[in-house]
Amino acid sequence: MRKEVLLLKSMLLAVLILFIPQIGLSADKIKVGVLHSLSGTMAISETTLKDTVLMMVEEQNKAGGLLGKELEAVVVDPASDWPLFAEKMRELIEVHKVDVVFGCWTSVSRKSVLPVVEELNGLLFYPVQYEGEESSKNVFYTGAAPNQQAIPAVDYLMNEVGAERWVLAGTDYVYPRTTNKILESYLKQKGVAEEDIMINYTPFGHSDWQTIVSDIKSFGSAGKKTAVVSTINGDANVPFYKELGNQGISAEDIPVVAFSVGEEELSGIDTGPLVGHLAAWNYFMSAESDANDEFIEAWHGFIGDEDRVTNDPMEATYIGFKMWAKAVEKVGTTDVDTVRPALYGIEVPNLTGGTAVMHSNHHLSKPVLIGEIQDDGQFDIVWSTDGEVEGDAWTDWLPESKVIVADWTDPINCGNYNTETKKCSGQNY
Amino acid sequence: MKHKPIIFRLLETDKGGRYFLAVILALMVIVPFCNLVVPETSAFHMSTYVVTLVGKYLTYALLAISLDLVWGYLGILSLGHGAFFGLGGYAMGMYLMRQIGDRGVYGHPVLPDFMVFLNYKELPWFWHGFDMFWFAFIMIFFVPGLLAFVFGWLAFRSRVTGVYLSIITQALTYALMLAFFRNNFGFGGNNGLTDFKDILGFDLQSDATRVALFICSGLAVILGYLICKFIVQSRLGSLVTAIRDSEGRVRALGYRDEYIKLFVFVVAAMLAGLAGALYVPQVGIINPGEFSPINSIEMVIWVAIGGRGTLYGAALGAVVVNFAKTYFTAAAPEVWLFMLGGLFVFVTLFLPKGIVGAVKNFASKSGKKIEPDANKANVG
Amino acid sequence: MMKLYFVMLFLFVFPAQNIFANESSESINSLDSSFELLTSKSFSDKTKAIEAISESGHPSALGILSSLLDGKLYYGKKDKKIVKIEKIDSKIFKTFDPLNNDSLGEKKKRELRKVGINNKLRGLLNEKIAKLTIFSEDKKTRLQATRNILKNLNPSSVEIIRNAVKQESDADVRELMQICIYAADAQSNDREIKLNAIRSLSGSLYPEIGILLDKLNTEQLAKSEKDTELLEALDESIESTKLKKGFYKQIENIFFGLSLGSVLLLAAVGLAITFGVMGVINMAHGEMLMLGAYTTFVIQQLMPNAIEYSLFIAIPAAFIFTGLVGIGIERGVIRYLYGRPLETLLATFGLSLILQQAVRSIFSPLNRSVITPDWMSGSYEFNPALSLTYNRMYIVLFALLVLFALLWLLKKTSFGLQMRAVTQNRNMAKAMGIRTNWVDSLTFGLGSGIAGVGGVALSQLTNVGPNLGQAYIVDSFMVVVFGGVGNLWGTFFGAMTLGIANKFMEPFTGAVFAKILVLIFIILFIQKYPRGMFALKGRAAES
């Protein structure tokens, strides 16, 4: 055995394997990381957001870039694989040295990248409505918190539709669990009895809704106006709505308000039987404003397809990008520790009119809109809040999170400050 | 000093294995050195990204070795090996969760955040004991081992074989995935376990801990390799291969084939559990996705690509496929599935014995002797 | 005389005309003001407008209200003039005057805005339209109108029903009207009428009646002086309703199980051939389903004006297309792998990744919308407690049809004979002069084609997207293995057993747990019967 040769060969091989991933760096461009799944189950929703970021980057470059530098988007595919999200986040920040990342959709993907982005002091803009109960120093949440979507929607159903009996149906993961928990507590505080609330969870991609829809039907025929609050996720919605339509549950009898169904989801459904069912968002494509018309036109131009729709997470991405660009311009650097405080108080016009403001709890002020599904796959806005609602990271409707606040400015400077014990918990960086 | 001869005996006829262990050892020296000692400005500095990445590959390599033991040598195509990997991972994840203590967002001294949120008043019984590392360490082997034992005892005794066995292993991991997805199952549902802080008192986010975990993974791969090698080269090993090639005859010769199968299956499950346990602290999350049937199928593919029935080939396959995945998902995010899929088809058609088989073939063609292709008899 | 006659005529006609003109212009006026209210943003204004229109007695009132309900009333963004539209395409509309249906020319969608309504208004419109259509010529319309009136019963609508029932000729409609009247009577203060009405409502399955009876029951129980006779009548009526409902619930459950079983059967039956008969562990099977579903989408894009018939074209098209893809796969890859089933797993898994990404690249990762033809939408109402959806019924029938067609092909045709010969003993078949290569290709093509046909059916139930196949592949394998590899009847009984078991457990355990239990059941079943439900006997079983 010639051990030395063996060892030498092996070392060479090892070195080769290790350094390949590190090749390919270029300097003097501002790098924008895009961390959205382009394959796997979430590609359906996330691909659009990748395109949105690319469009924003292109527009920014046309307008002369940022700080005199060109922007460059670095796209990776975490393939709907949650541990891969963490790995790719690390790759983006450590290897590609990106200045900011736009990405994630599901809660678990965000939870997966969270330790990484905190450890490496990165900057992540998260554009999807989510369950709240979080405020990280390094993450800005431009989607809706529960008080910006769920609570107003229930208020609408209660006051305008007169719902007295509630079905909370969701996919079994953390966002529906949290939202339903908040809603259950909220409804009970509003005097709804225990037996008037039915909660149901189904797995991801559930496709056989016969029994559940039939249960909803009989639950809804007890004489009280019944409404369904649906936090059913993505793929499971099509068979759910198809079954609703076929079993003859019309919006007048039992309206369904969905928090995860937007224009893009509807573009895969024949909306004929769904007319009148509701959705709550901060943005609808049908919103009438000049900014929205421009955005839609730009999107159609970029994607080269007049039939493509826009949706709420796209607006959230848009707002996030604009805010970041504005903050970078304000402080003249992309350094995270400088940009972060500069983001507080930054204002960007909403596409629906009014302005979005980034608060020091890393959440936005946004208007809440309720739309009814139309037969052309669009929403008709039937109700909206008077002004913007400020995003609340920690809901006030649950005892354990009522006492917690997030504020990333002095003196608190913490994402989960317990107002009773006067302590910050869960910080390890 | 008594162990040395055994190792030598194991590796005497195993040239590939020697190379393989040398590469792992080299990695265990180079990676820590380049990460901790070489200054960051140097071209030879290795980022933490690479350390965790290669660490992950190593755990996959161990997983592939354990799968190769049951598939390559015992002839059981397990489409549910991810179940054991995942269970080991969850055992480690539970320990890491308990280590968080009162540093969770709600500041509860005992309950992990997701339990506080789901209104748990006290810790479920199966979470007890996981605050102690030794207990978790036992569980890492015990839980996958127990599952493999119960499952194997039922399946091998009633002589379920071939595709039937493969499909029920798939059913097993699928059922586990659905169960772990359920939030009321007590394992954090879809989000799984995450936001770990430290292990044995060491900060998980420090480079030194990462390197230590990396070295542990390397050691585990070497250990796993040697254990498997020991099994297949022993007298038992001959029986194992005999069962693969003709189970009926082994049985006719009076051997209790189901016990042998059970033993090997349980050992493989435990090794997979260990791989899972090392995987979790390095990637920082464990969730039910690890149980998904597709994941387990992918594992089989690593082994096939590397070369089944060689152990080190399986490890090589795991690294190659995952490296390809890492590279393509960044370099060609839009079309990487074409490349990966193409790779699978290519290997099956043109390298039927995997990379290792191809290399051996090449060596023997250009060199000394030509081995008759054992597979040919079966074709057509 | 003539003069007088003319004067008379003048006197007669003119005032009448005058009155008529007045009335009509008045109602036009009032409609004008209602129209103005309709363009308002406030829904309470629109409510007033709807009330006014329905009470105007204007001949076009019904037309206006139903156009409003159908979302066909628009108004000009500038002139605020209400028009009725008909879509030419998504950009341009034909417009009509809602009062007299005179054409007003084509307009661009951008110039118009829809008169938006919400669910409350939809309910109101339904009620108003019901009142206006209770005397309609069409039996269905009258039935629907009565049904809508029952939904929100009020004294004024009951009066209308009481009148309508007198001239109602159709027995079904009369029965429903009678129930409306009993429902009203049950709330009457006259004890005799009340008692009689409650007794007559016994066993009625309408949910509104159930609610009403429950309400009356609680009312009676709350009273200090209990009227035992009344209570007994109530009890009896409620019980009989419950009993009937429970019975129909069971029937419904069986149907749900059968339909889930049929879906599983359609998903798995192609695999029963490629995997069961040929022994190819075909991981690309799911993608064949997906290709079938996408074929449906493409066919519908090609014939947008004949969606009703699109499925009849899509079924053969999907069969041929996926069949050809299958033959291509067999020729290109699988034929090199016979005798090495595990390697077919590897290759077909690679192919499935490629096919998924191909679809993603061609059709985008978004779901595509496949339209359900009208004849497959909705449900057939056997009675108010039991209605079965058309699409599920068709799918049950279709699954059986596919199964029997396949059985026929395998058992009665020479191709089927050759196929069975090749799978049972390849060499012997070859020696008998069967072109085994050719049979292999066609068999794989057949399995893939059948999967494509299954995909057409799935497109009517679920998402048509790149992940469609992934969702069904594991289930398909379970069904085939559970039923017994290589046996179509096994696949059939396997699918139905799993479907019904799942549906009967679901109400007690929830959807997820039911599925877990089914999987555990499969594992235990295979331990007991290591070759599935219908094990092949003899030599074929050993291979």
pLDDT tens readout for residues B100-139: 888 887 878 888 888 888 888 888 999 999 999 999 999 9
Surface of C (134-193) touching A: CB under 8 A: none
Q: Evaluate whether A238 touches A269 at the Cβ level (below 8 Å).
A: yes
Whether residue A235 lies inside any domain: the answer is: yes
**Of residues B254 and C537, more confidently modeled:** B254
Does residue A382 sit at the C interface (CB-CB below 8 Å)? Answer: yes
User: Is C331 an 8 Å CB contact of chain B?
Assistant: no
Question: Which residue of chain C comes nearest to A160, CA vs CA?
Answer: C120
Determine the average pLDDT of the residues in B336-351.
88
Look at C20 and C357; give whichever has higher pLDDT: C357
Question: Does position C542 have pLDDT exceeding 70, yes or no?
Answer: no
Would the pLDDT of B76 be above 50?
A: yes
Instruction: In whole angstroms, give the CA distance from residue A69 to residue A67.
Output: 5
How much of chain B exceeds pLDDT 70, in percent? 95
Residues 425-484 of C with CB under 8 A from B: 426, 470, 474, 477-478, 481
Residue of C nearest to A376 (CA): C90
Concatenate the DSSP letters of all residues of B208-250 into one string.
HHHHHHHHHHHHHHHHHHHHHHHHHHSHHHHHHHHHHH-HHHH
Question: Which of B183, B284, B337 is opposite residue A172, by nearest beta carbon?
Answer: B183
Put simply, whether A51 touches B (Cβ < 8 Å) is: no
Q: Which of chain C's residues have a Cβ under 8 Å away from the Cβ of B340? A: 350, 353
Domain residue limits, chain B? 3-367
Quick check: helix, strand or coil at residue A141? strand
Q: Does C304 touch chain A (CB under 8 A)?
A: no
In angstroms, the CA B291 to CA B288 distance is 5
* Partners of chain A (3+ Cβ pairs below 8 A): B, C
Q: A interface mutation test: which of B8, B34, B105 has the most A CBs within 10 A?
A: B105
CB-CB contact of A55 with A299 (8 Å) = yes
Question: Nearest residue on chain A to B184, judged by CA atoms?
Answer: A172
Q: Chain A closest CA to C377's CA: distance in Å?
A: 6
Closest CA of chain B from A350, distance in Å:
31
| CB spacing of B333 vs A77 below 8 angstroms | yes
pLDDT digits (tens, 9 = 90+) for C10-50: 444 444 444 444 444 445 556 777 888 888 777 788 888 88
Look at residue B1 and tell me whether its pLDDT is greater than 50. no
- The ipTM is 0.88
Judged by CB atoms closer than 8 Å, whether chains meet at B289 and A429 is answered as no
Number of Cβ within 10 Å of residue C503's Cβ equals 24
| Residue pair A261/A244 in contact by the 8 Å Cβ criterion | no
Torsion of CA B212, B216, B218, B223, to 10 degrees: 160
Q: What is the pLDDT of residue C9?
A: 47
Residue pair A201/A171 in contact (Cβ under 8 Å)? The answer is: yes
CA distances for C141 relative to A168, A184, B110, C134, C161, angstroms: 35, 41, 65, 7, 14
Note down the domain range covering A160: 150-258
pLDDT at B85: 96
The C residues from 484 to 543 touching B (CB cutoff 8 Å) are 485, 512-513, 515-516, 519-520, 522-524, 526-528, 530-532
Give pLDDT, residue B273. 96
**Within the 16-35 window of chain A, which residues sit less than 8 Å (CB to CB) from chain C?**
none
Question: Residue C341's pLDDT band (boundaries 50, 70, 90)?
Answer: confident
Helices C468-483 and C511-528, axial angle in degrees (round to 10)? 40
**What CATH number did the domain enclosing A246 receive?**
3.40.50.2300
**Distance in angstroms (rounded) separating the CA atoms of residues B304 and B300:** 6
C316-338: per-residue pLDDT in tens? 999 999 999 999 999 999 988 87
The pLDDT, as a whole number, for residue B5 is 66
Contact B289 A134 (CB under 8 A): no
Q: What is the pLDDT of residues B160-187, one digit of tens each?
A: 888 888 889 999 999 999 999 888 888 9
The backbone torsions φ and ψ at residue C243, rounded to the nearest 5 degrees and listed phi first, read -60, -50
pLDDT number for residue C29: 54
Whether residue C365 is preceded by a cis peptide bond, meaning omega within 30 degrees of 0, is no
Q: Where are the domains of chain C?
A: 2-120, 134-226, 247-364+406-542
Q: Is residue C467 within 8 angstroms of chain A, CB to CB?
A: yes
For residue A208, which residues of chain C lie inside 8 Å, CB to CB?
Answer: 260, 263, 502, 511
Task: Name which of A46, C353, C224, C19 is nearest B340 in CA terms.
Answer: C353
C72 contacts on A by Cβ (under 8 Å): none
* Residue A175 contacts residue A211 (beta carbons within 8 Å): no
Q: How many CB atoms lie within 10 A of CB C408?
A: 11
Q: Which residues of chain A lie closer than 8 angstroms to C465, CB-CB?
A: 44, 235, 268
The residues of chain A scoring below 70 in pLDDT are: 1-27, 426-429
Size of interface B-C (CB pairs under 8 A): 128
Q: Residue B160 and residue A375: Cα distance in Å, rounded?
A: 54
Instruction: Return d(Cα C497, Cα C513) in angstroms, integer.
Output: 17
Residue C342 contacts B where some CB pair is shorter than 8 Å: yes
Task: Give the pLDDT band of residue C62 (cuts 50, 70, 90).
Answer: confident
Distance from CA of B369 to the nearest CA of C (A): 26
Token pair belonging to A134: 């979080």
Within 8 A of C541 by CB-CB distance, chain B residues are: none
Percentage with pLDDT > 90 across chain C: 26
What is the average pLDDT value for chain B, to the nearest integer?
A: 87
Q: Is C113 on the interface with A (CB under 8 A)?
A: no
Of A39, A212, A247, the CB nearest to C360: A39
- The residue ranking higher by pLDDT, B255 or C99, is B255
In a domain, A369, yes or no: no
The angle formed by the CA atoms of residues B121, B127 and B129, to the nearest 5 degrees, is: 120
Closest to A26 in 3D by CA, of A66, A86, A70:
A70
pLDDT in tens, C100-157: 878 888 887 777 877 877 777 887 888 888 878 877 778 888 888 888 888 777 777 8
- C389/A247 Cβ within 8 A: yes
